[in-house]
C-alpha cells in the first residue's frame, strides 16, 4: 500500500513507466545491465522485478532486484523515504530478513527521476532493492505454528525499532492524516460513498462510530512505537525448513514493503497482522489467538490494549475494504489487485460483527491463554 492522501489519487499519482523506460532507468541510474524485467502488482507505487547480468568487477552484485518507483505524491517527502530505507538497512543488520538498497552510480540510496515532458512532467523517487526469494503467506495453508511466529515477528520488529533505531529524520514518521495509520479510521467517512448504499456500508459506519467513541479517547493510554503497518499475507515471505512435503514447517524468510511505516502503537501492529492473517485462513476466527500468543511472548498487552483489539481489527478491515473500493474507482484497470482483500474480507468483518465482540474475544484470548499454560492448541 502507500499514499496516505487519497484525494491526491485523483491527479493519478501512480507512476506509469514502461518496461523499456524502467530498463533504461536501471542502467542509467544504477549502472547495471538488465537481462530481464517484468512488472509486479502494486497499489499506487510501481514495482518491477529486475534480473541483471553480472560483469567484471561486480562479483558481489545480486542477480535480482526490485525497482521501486514511489508515487509522485510520496516522492515529495524524501525524508520519509530516507527513514524507511534506513530502517530496512537497520533491521537487516538486526537479523530481520529485509531488502537493502543497491546504491546509485553516485553512491546514493535513491534518485529523483522525471517522466513526461513539459507541463505534464512528474518526479518520482526511485530505489533498487535486493530481491528476496520465498513464498508469500497467501500461497500456503497457514497453521498455528507459523501464525504464532508471525505474531512474534511483529512484536520483535516494533520493539527493536522502539528501543534501538535512531535517525535525524525519524519525526517524518509522524504522518498526521495518513489514511493507513490505524488511528485514522474516522477519515474513512470521506471515502465511504464508494461502497454505495448497502449492508457493507452500514457495518463500516458502525465501526467508525464505535472507533470514535471507544478508541480515539483511549489512544493516549496505548504504548507508542513505530509500526511497519502492513504485515499482510503478501508482505511476509516464508521458506520451508523440512524435506517433508506432507508436513512442511515454515519460517519467515523475508519482510517486504516498508512504505506504510508510521508512528503508532504496539496494539496497532498486532491488530493489523491479525486482520491480514485472517484473509486467507480456512478458520479465520481462530487466527487472532495464535497471532496474539506470539505477539505477547514478546510484548504482553495491557488490559486497555486487549479491550481495544476487536475494534482495531474491525477498523483495519474497514480501512482496507473502503480504500480498495474508492481506489478501484480511480484505477479500474488495477481493480483485481486492489480488491484482493475484498474477496473474503467482507465475509470476515460481517461474521465478526454478527458474533459480537465478547464471543470473538473469547476465542482469541482462550487460545492465547492455552499457549501460556503449555496446553495443546
Q: Which long-range contacts (CB under 8 A, 24 or more apart) does 209-217 make?
A: 210/311, 210/314, 211/185, 211/186, 211/311, 211/315, 212/186, 214/308, 214/311, 215/185, 215/308, 215/311, 215/312, 215/315, 216/183, 216/186
Rounded to an integer, what distance in angstroms lies between the CA atom of residue 320 and that of residue 271? 13
Backbone angles phi, psi at 268, to 5 degrees: -65, -50
Q: Which of 158, 230, 257, 260 is catalytic?
A: 230
Rounded to an integer, what distance in angstroms lies between the CA atom of residue 249 and that of residue 247? 7
Look up 230 and say whether it is catalytic: yes
Rounded to an integer, what distance in angstroms lies between the CA atom of residue 212 and that of residue 312? 11
The SS3 of residue 177 is coil
Backbone angles phi, psi at 40, to 5 degrees: -115, 150
Catalytic residues: 230
Amino acid at each position: 500500500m502507500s499514499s496516505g492522501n487519497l484525494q491526491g489519487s485523483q491527479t493519478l499519482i501512480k507512476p506509469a513507466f514502461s518496461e523499456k523506460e524502467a530498463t533504461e532507468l536501471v542502467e542509467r541510474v544504477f549502472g547495471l545491465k538488465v537481462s530481464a524485467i517484468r512488472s509486479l502488482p502494486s497499489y499506487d507505487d510501481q514495482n518491477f522485478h529486475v534480473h541483471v547480468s553480472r560483469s567484471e568487477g561486480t562479483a558481489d552484485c545480486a542477480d535480482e532486484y526490485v525497482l521501486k518507483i514511489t508515487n509522485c505524491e510520496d516522492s515529495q517527502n524524501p525524508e520519509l523515504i530516507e527513514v524507511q530505507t534506513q530502517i530496512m538497512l537497520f533491521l537487516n543488520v538486526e537479523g530481520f530478513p529485509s531488502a537493502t538498497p543497491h546504491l546509485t552510480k553516485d553512491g546514493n540510496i535513491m534518485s529523483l527521476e522525471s517522466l513526461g515532458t513539459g507541463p505534464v512532467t512528474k518526479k518520482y523517487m526511485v530505489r533498487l532493492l535486493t530481491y528476496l526469494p520465498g513464498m508469500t503467506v497467501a500461497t500456503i495453508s497457514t497453521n498455528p505454528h507459523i501464525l504464532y511466529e508471525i505474531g512474534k515477528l511483529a512484536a520483535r520488529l516494533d520493539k527493536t525499532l522502539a528501543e534501538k533505531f535512531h535517525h535525524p529524520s525519524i519525526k517524518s514518521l509522524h504522518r498526521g492524516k495518513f489514511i493507513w495509520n490505524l488511528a485514522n479510521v474516522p477519515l474513512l467517512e470521506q471515502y465511504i460513498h464508494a461502497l454505495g448504499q448497502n449492508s457493507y456500508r452500514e457495518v463500516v459506519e458502525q465501526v467508525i462510530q464505535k472507533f470514535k467513541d471507544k478508541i480515539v479517547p483511549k489512544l493516549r493510554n496505548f504504548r507508542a512505537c513505530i509500526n511497519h503497518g502492513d504485515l499482510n499475507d503478501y508482505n511476509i515471505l516464508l521458506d520451508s525448513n523440512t524435506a517433508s512435503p506432507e508436513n512442511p514447517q515454515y519460517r519467515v524468510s523475508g519482510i517486504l514493503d516498508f512504505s506504510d511505516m508510521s508512528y503508532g502503537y504496539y496494539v496497532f501492529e498486532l491488530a493489523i497482522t491479525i486482520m491480514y492473517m485472517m484473509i486467507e485462513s480456512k478458520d479465520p476466527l481462530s487466527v487472532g489467538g495464535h497471532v496474539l500468543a506470539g505477539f505477547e511472548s514478546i510484548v504482553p498487552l495491557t488490559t486497555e490494549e486487549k479491550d481495544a483489539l476487536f475494534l482495531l481489527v474491525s477498523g483495519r478491515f474497514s480501512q482496507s475494504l473502503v480504500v480498495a473500493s474508492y481506489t478501484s474507482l480511480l484505477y479500474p484497470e488495477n481493480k483485481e489487485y486492489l480488491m484482493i482483500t475484498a474477496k473474503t474480507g467482507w465475509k470476515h468483518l460481517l461474521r465478526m460483527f454478527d458474533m459480537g465482540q465478547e464471543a470473538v474475544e473469547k476465542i482469541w484470548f482462550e487460545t492465547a491463554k492455552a499457549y501460556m499454560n503449555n496446553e495443546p492448541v
